[in-house]
Structure 1
Amino acid sequence: MEEVMEIVKKQSSPEVSISTPPLQINNQIHSPNLMSFPKSPFGSRFMNTPLASPMKKAIENIIEEVGHFTKFDPQDDWLPITACRKGNAYYAAFHVLNSGIGFQALVLPLAFTSLGWTWGILCLCVAFIWQLYTLWLLIQLHESDSGPRHSRYLQLAMEAFGEKLGKLLVLFPVQYLSGGTCVTLIMIGGGTMKILFQIMCGEASSLYQLKTIEWYLVFTVAAILLAQLPNLNSIAGVSLIGAITAVSYCSMIWIVSVFQGRLANISYEPSMGQSQATRIFSVLNALGIIALAFRGHNLVLEIQGTICSDSKNPSRLAMWKGVKFAYLVIAFCLFPIAIGGYWAYGNLIPSNGGMLSALHKYHEHDTSKLIIALTSLLVVINSLSSFQIYAMPIFDNLEFRYTSTRNRPCPRWLRIVFRGLFGCLTLFIAIALPFLPSLAGLIGGVALPITLAYPCFMWIQIKKPKKHSTTWYLNWTLGVIGMILSVLVVTGAIWGIVALGIQIHFFNP
């Protein structure tokens, strides 16, 4: 009995005090004595044994998380978005550039055909400043005062609006943006692959005989193979390649278009034969196209979740540095391609494909084949890179379902199955619904609250600024206007589809 009492006393010794105040725990963790490992050979050997490795990892997590007074969720170590928190400002810039520039920039001149010069430039500037402000809000909300880091847009929405309302408002648009973007990337990447091989190999090549569906399959297989990288931080190099290729082909397209000069018989005025209602809804559809150009807010919190954070260097500082650099580059890409493309093609810019289609349609014979082939190659590489970052939230959600039910990490073979099935599903949708790129205005309207409205409301709900203060009025005004604008854009896009029509052809890309 005495031996049992001695064992109990040893286990309840004050060396590991449960009732230690959080501040005292923080001071103990940051003290030099506890931060350094024992120098004795026995201590070093023990910390490297399998028995001590979970303890060592737990200590590292406590040093990271408790130092910033945040709660650590062990499940985050098993999920693709938060499995590795070794990111930095450079990685953040790569990811933001890869997700912020892409095919959506190529259709910006289409918005100017309805808005005209003055309103087109003004709306583009307002949208850029507005979405940059809401981006700053999301970065500040990533780390909460109450505990956990919100490393997913859905988590932050549920924290702000409650579990049921948060899922209702955010789950579909976020998943729709991720999955829908991957479907569109298959269409653009596969179609551009076909054009590239036609230019390089000519009609005599057997590759010329491949159908568009088969090129979609080639692109999807390449995307699935590249998707086997385990987590978001591991694709930083892929995002860097995607960012370089996006900046390169956007710059090449608008430079070639401007250098070749304006087309003959172009007009910068809206069609005069349209009714007043048609003009109004065309303007709303144009606003949806501009909103689509600034999509990517659904990935900002996920990107910030890959950055380590402590009390001295919170993740928001590194994230904001990366975002500032990335959006400076984005501005130098989007504004020239919108203004230069509209100047070069006016109302003759193709509605399907935008600037890329215009380059092949109007300058295929008066521009070097090397330039057109290089542009097409860059588009393909960028599409493959962007597919990875937009598919990552879907992969994360699939593995979350598994880890929540089984309480263990997702095995590698099942991860391969998940990602392969997602690739097959997006390929099927791309083949079944080849007219999806024509719905750019509708997609932009659905995504608009994610970008412009919800961050403002979440700031009010979580930060609770003083009523009737400048911040309170600003966020309420932007949030309400964003929601109204979203409803109008979606209505305008649907009306335009019904009134003007689109070429709907199922299973016939």
Structure 2
Amino acid sequence: MGEAPVGCMQGEVGSDSKIHIMNDDGEIVSMDHYLTTDDQLPPDSKDEWNGIINDDWLPITQSRRGTSWTATFHLLCSGIGIQTLSLPLAFMYLGWFWGSLCLSVAFVWQLYTIGLLMSLHESVPGARFSRYLQLSIAAFGVKLGKLLAIFPVMYLSGGTCVMFIITGGGTMKLFYQLLCEDCSSKHPLTTTEWFLVFIFMAILVSLFCPNLNSVALVSLLGAIMAVGYCTILWIMFLAKGKIDNVVYDPSEAVTSESGRVRSIFTAFGIIAVAFRGHNVVLEIQGTMPSTPNRSSYKFMSKAVIASYLIIAMCFFPIAIVGYWAFGNKFPINGGLLTAITRTLNYHTSKPVLGLIYVQVIISCVTAFQIYSMVVYDNLERVYASKARQECSKLIRMGIRIFFGGLTFFISVTFPFLPSLALLIGGISLHLTFGYPCLMWIAIKKPPMKSVKWWLNLGLGCLGIGLSLLVVVGAVWNLVCRGLDANFFHPR
């Protein structure tokens, strides 16, 4: 499968220059090119097939008019999710000190790998790696790069969209039940039908967003909703105080030695999986313009600093206040959303609870647009390479509807996937904590055994080891607790 080009304009518009393009074999090749703007090109020349897929044909790089603001919206929308609400459970297993330490280390670690990805985006002069897969191929070669990245990237993007359907559809059902407790309807919508309502909304929005940059306002709405429900939850728990007879002793949460080890593995996984979105960082940076005087790195750096300050203000209060309020009685499944629904339902006003549900639903619909764009980009690239032309609006619409139908089918077939969240997240965790460090070594080629070489090699190996550790812990949990595999029967 041919890879999308990574050519980037360098130099002044309208001057002779060379561009660097990734060919179908994953090699960076240089060629003479007369640089012009899109407005200067005759209409037919934009769509003329020359053996290389035009970046302007694909949804991720179709528009490079992004700014630090739009990137901040994308990062917030994609970086805060429902998994954040399970962070107090990690504290329940680790305690105050180790929980705070592990969360802080993970936050700094993943922020460092984001910095590496940003620096590698334009690491080859004249080229831009606007997709995680392209960077992996440039670092490890065609065969190994595809082997290491194509499955986890597509699996993570598609799997995350399925999780959005299950979470968003399930929350829609809770919202309806909250509003219609006394409704006399004898035939309320089933969970499957709520999944269908959710995916209909998500695909409808995607039809009005042809490229990643066009999702900016949607991402802004999603960012506001995600930050909103996190903030409301921790403030509400702080205001209501602790539950009765709260205990903060990890040794009492799990009594057996084997259970204690298993709970530590689980805690590591909960914290690690909470940090998401690294598989779309390069794509977000790819929506920004880049010139010799001001590279996209500068725009992206501002966005990362702003967004992760806000993310920290969501993650740490949720983890600390949630554990403070519940201690060892924090619900094992469902996170704070379950806690507020079951434990504090009668002490929370309907408007507040309804507002939280609405924010979760909107957050899922909006984040769906960002993660699904990676899949759309790959599917459109396959079509363009076969048809030798850009996708028409009808084909683009068909791709989105097809993906929506596929993810809906998977969500109905495997509605228990949230119970496998740690296993699913652990399999692709190296994309966040491991691969960026190893790709930096492969591309930058620092002096062997230098400080940077040892640091990135160590973090890369630790990231892969963490991924294996989380997978082992998740499988261990399944063996000990079992799995309620309700195939085709969403509840």
Asked if residue 508 in structure 1 is aligned to residue 489 in structure 2, the reply is yes
- 1:146 shift after superposition: 4.4
What is the CA–CA distance in structure 2 between the aligned matches of 1:299 and 1:196, rounded to whole Å? 30
**Cα gap change, 1:208/1:376 in structure 2, threshold over 3 Å: closer, same or farther?**
farther
- Correspondence list, 1:235-314, <5 A: 235-270=215-250, 272=252, 274-314=255-295
Give the letter aligned to residue 84 of structure 2.
A
What is the CA–CA distance in structure 2 between the aligned matches of 1:49 and 1:350, rounded to whole Å? 57
Asked if residue 481 in structure 1 is aligned to residue 478 in structure 2, the reply is no
What is the CA–CA distance in structure 1 between the aligned matches of 2:237 and 2:268, rounded to whole Å? 24
What is the CA–CA distance in structure 2 between the aligned matches of 1:247 and 1:358, rounded to whole Å? 18
Structure 2 counterpart of 1:100, from 76, 79, 85:
79
- 1:281 shift after superposition: 2.1
Structure 1 counterpart of 2:351, from 356, 370, 386:
370
Moved more, 163-172 or 393-402: 163-172
What is the CA–CA distance in structure 2 between the aligned matches of 1:182 and 1:27, rounded to whole Å? 41
- Look up the match of 1:131: 110
**Cα gap change, 1:203/1:183 in structure 2, threshold over 3 Å: closer, same or farther?**
farther
Aligned length: 456
Larger Rg over CA atoms: 1
Give the letter aligned to residue 141 of structure 2.
G
What is the CA–CA distance in structure 2 between the aligned matches of 1:381 and 1:118, rounded to whole Å? 34
**Cα gap change, 1:104/1:51 in structure 2, threshold over 3 Å: closer, same or farther?**
closer
- Look up the match of 1:220: 199
Give the letter aligned to residue 277 of structure 1.
S
Deviations 1:48-98 (A, max 9, x none): 99983467x79xxxxxxxxxxxxx965211111000100010010000000
**Cα gap change, 1:385/1:124 in structure 2, threshold over 3 Å: closer, same or farther?**
same
Asked if residue 52 in structure 1 is aligned to residue 32 in structure 2, the reply is no
What is the CA–CA distance in structure 1 between the aligned matches of 2:461 and 2:325, rounded to whole Å? 37
Give the letter aligned to residue 218 of structure 2.
V
What is the CA–CA distance in structure 2 between the aligned matches of 1:51 and 1:134, rounded to whole Å? 38
**Cα gap change, 1:433/1:296 in structure 2, threshold over 3 Å: closer, same or farther?**
same
SS at match of 1:467: coil
What is the CA–CA distance in structure 2 between the aligned matches of 1:338 and 1:484, rounded to whole Å? 24
State the TM-score, normalized to the length of structure 1.
0.85
- Look up the match of 1:189: 168
SS at match of 2:210: coil
**Cα gap change, 1:207/1:295 in structure 2, threshold over 3 Å: closer, same or farther?**
farther
- Look up the match of 1:35: none
Q: In proportion to residue count, which structure has more helix? A: 1
**Cα gap change, 1:256/1:49 in structure 2, threshold over 3 Å: closer, same or farther?**
closer
Moved more, 416-425 or 77-86: 416-425
What is the CA–CA distance in structure 2 between the aligned matches of 1:477 and 1:114, rounded to whole Å? 26
- Look up the match of 1:22: none
What is the CA–CA distance in structure 2 between the aligned matches of 1:256 and 1:179, rounded to whole Å? 33
- Look up the match of 1:169: 148
- Look up the match of 2:337: 356
In 2, are the aligned partners of 1:288 and 1:443 still within 8 Å (CA)?
no
- Look up the match of 2:180: 201
Deviations 1:314-352 (A, max 9, x none): 001101111110000000001101111111122222233
Deviations 1:144-188 (A, max 9, x none): 324421000010001001111111111121112111111111111
Structure 2 counterpart of 1:79, from 58, 63, 67:
58
What is the CA–CA distance in structure 2 between the aligned matches of 1:177 and 1:28, rounded to whole Å? 38
Deviations 1:364-386 (A, max 9, x none): 11111111011111111111001
**Cα gap change, 1:265/1:504 in structure 2, threshold over 3 Å: closer, same or farther?**
farther
Moved more, 94-103 or 190-199: 190-199
What is the CA–CA distance in structure 1 between the aligned matches of 2:380 and 2:13, rounded to whole Å? 36
- Look up the match of 1:338: 319
State the TM-score, normalized to the length of structure 2.
0.88
Structure 1 counterpart of 2:418, from 431, 434, 437:
437
**Cα gap change, 1:54/1:148 in structure 2, threshold over 3 Å: closer, same or farther?**
farther
Structure 2 counterpart of 1:234, from 214, 225, 229:
214
In 2, are the aligned partners of 1:194 and 1:215 still within 8 Å (CA)?
yes
What is the CA–CA distance in structure 2 between the aligned matches of 1:206 and 1:388, rounded to whole Å? 33
In 1, are the aligned partners of 2:60 and 2:283 still within 8 Å (CA)?
yes
- Look up the match of 2:99: 120
Aligned alpha-carbon RMSD (Å): 2.3
**Where does structure 2 lack aligned partners over 5 or more consecutive residues?**
1-9, 17-36
Asked if residue 148 in structure 1 is aligned to residue 138 in structure 2, the reply is no
What is the CA–CA distance in structure 2 between the aligned matches of 1:360 and 1:476, rounded to whole Å? 44
- 1:468 shift after superposition: 2.0
Structure 1 counterpart of 2:375, from 394, 410, 432:
394
Moved more, 234-243 or 72-81: 72-81
- 1:29 shift after superposition: 4.2
Give the letter aligned to residue 260 of structure 1.
K
Deviations 1:110-151 (A, max 9, x none): 211211111111000000000000100000000132442100
**Cα gap change, 1:110/1:163 in structure 2, threshold over 3 Å: closer, same or farther?**
same
- 1:268 shift after superposition: 2.2
Give the letter aligned to residue 79 of structure 1.
L
In 1, are the aligned partners of 2:53 and 2:381 still within 8 Å (CA)?
no
What is the CA–CA distance in structure 2 between the aligned matches of 1:175 and 1:28, rounded to whole Å? 35
In 2, are the aligned partners of 1:186 and 1:219 still within 8 Å (CA)?
yes
- 1:30 shift after superposition: 6.7
Give the letter aligned to residue 487 of structure 1.
L
What is the CA–CA distance in structure 2 between the aligned matches of 1:180 and 1:450, rounded to whole Å? 14
What is the CA–CA distance in structure 1 between the aligned matches of 2:353 and 2:482, rounded to whole Å? 31
**Cα gap change, 1:393/1:281 in structure 2, threshold over 3 Å: closer, same or farther?**
same
Moved more, 304-313 or 254-263: 254-263
What is the CA–CA distance in structure 1 between the aligned matches of 2:295 and 2:444, rounded to whole Å? 18
In 1, are the aligned partners of 2:11 and 2:292 still within 8 Å (CA)?
no
SS at match of 2:54: helix
What is the CA–CA distance in structure 2 between the aligned matches of 1:148 and 1:296, rounded to whole Å? 23
Give the letter aligned to residue 266 of structure 1.
V
Give the letter aligned to residue 188 of structure 1.
T
